[in-house]
Amino acid sequence: MTDYDSLERQLTALLDTRDWLTNAAQTSAFLMQTLEKLNWVGFYLQRQPETLILGPFQGLPACNPIPFSKGVCGAAARSRQTQRVDDVHAVPDHIACDAASRSELVVPIVVADDLWGVLDIDSPVPARFSREDQAGIERLCRVFIDASDLTASAPRR
């Protein structure tokens, strides 16, 4: 099982600036290196109303932009609830950026009641993400939020 306590300590030590861009890049690289069986990790940011634009990521070039009305990322943005999808082929409006993706976890990043963006993680393995993974990755998102000046990023609406 993944040791999320250890990952939380490591990520906290890694994020040694308040700059959200640096921290988002570091966080996506850290997750790609430390979590097994992933093919894509990255951030989508809300910088226009009801739209997600691609931010720092690891993996293949990805879809951009993503409207709130579409895909697993859009569902996370609309609902502000983590989306844990065991089989992306079973989601009718799943957006296939990388044909290898089989399961997906998308965590909304909410700051002061504003949706800043989402963290999207894809795996080539069906049902890669357990409830424990969801809770652990949500904790790692909290480390990113607490370490970063997210209100200083850009006007979003």
Q: Which residues bind ligand SME (CB under 6 A)?
A: 40, 62-63, 66, 71-74, 94-95, 97, 101, 104, 120, 122
Contacts within 8 Å (CB) and 24+ apart, 55-58: 55/24, 55/117, 56/21, 56/24, 56/25, 56/27, 56/28, 57/28, 58/28, 58/29, 58/31, 58/32
Look at residue 106 and give its three-state secondary structure: strand
Please give the residue whose beta carbon sits closest to ligand SME in the complex: 71
Task: Work out how close the CB of 93 gets to ligand SME at its nearest, in angstroms, rounded to a whole number.
Answer: 7
Nearer to ligand SME, 103 or 148 (CB): 103
Nearer to ligand SME, 84 or 94 (CB): 94
Nearer to ligand SME, 7 or 85 (CB): 85
